[in-house]
Amino acid sequence: MDEDSRIASLDEVPADSSLLFTIRDGFDTEEAILLDLSDGVIALKNYCPHWTDVRFDSGSGATVRDDELVCTKHGATFETTTGDCTHGPCEGATIDEVGVTVHDGAVYLTDESYEFENLGPSGDHDLSSRGRIGFSGN
Query: What is the pLDDT averaged over residues 59-73?
Result: 92
Give this prediction's pTM. Answer: 0.86
Compare 49 and 134 and report the one with higher pLDDT.
49
Q: Which residues contact 101 (CB under 8 A, 6 or more apart)?
A: 1, 107, 108, 110
List pLDDT tens digits, range 13-41: 998 999 999 999 989 999 999 999 988 89
Look over the chain and give the mean of its residue pLDDT values, rounded to a whole number.
Answer: 87
Compare 115 and 54 and report the one with higher pLDDT.
115
The whole-angstrom separation of Cα 22 and Cα 55 is 13
Dump strand ranges (E) for 71-134.
77-79, 85-87, 97-98, 100-103, 106-109, 115-119
Query: What is the pLDDT averaged over residues 104-111?
Result: 95
Q: What is the pLDDT of residue 124?
A: 60
Q: Domain map of the chain by residue range?
A: 3-119
| DSSP type of residue 133 | -
Domain 3-119 has CATH 3.90.1150.10: no
